[in-house]
Amino acid sequence: MSFLFGRKGKHVPKNAVWRITQEGREKLSDFNGNPESQVLVALESHGSSSVEEISQESGISRGQVERITLKLAKSGRIQLVNAGADSEDID
């Protein structure tokens, strides 16, 4: 997953699939309706999901979901499961 954080222009592969971690589940108790919480709830409710699926479930734009997933991954609350078809960007 270092390919997400090691480059200047952070890029989430188009078909990336994310899942919630135990740390993310623990943070659900702090749910306050902010966008990060909405992404965590979407992943908890529907399991591993693509950015598009998270966007549809949470009502948050795809671009915002991409930014939030990077932030949540960096904090350890979610994990990249599959880099999808654009995996040629992986180091």
| DSSP tag of 87 | G
Residue 4 has pLDDT above 70, yes or no: no
Q: Which domains, and CATH codes, for the chain?
A: 2-85 (1.10.10)
Q: Please check whether residue 69 is in contact with residue 20, taking contact to mean a CB–CB distance below 8 angstroms.
A: no
* Interval 38-52: pLDDT, tens: 999 999 999 999 999
**Selected residue with higher pLDDT from 9 and 50:** 50
* Interval 10-35: pLDDT, tens: 667 778 898 999 888 888 777 778 89
Q: Please check whether residue 77 is in contact with residue 23, taking contact to mean a CB–CB distance below 8 angstroms.
A: yes
For 69-80, what is the mean pLDDT?
A: 94
**32 to 5, 29, 40, 56, 73: CA distances (angstroms):** 27, 9, 11, 19, 19
Q: What is the pLDDT of residue 89?
A: 40
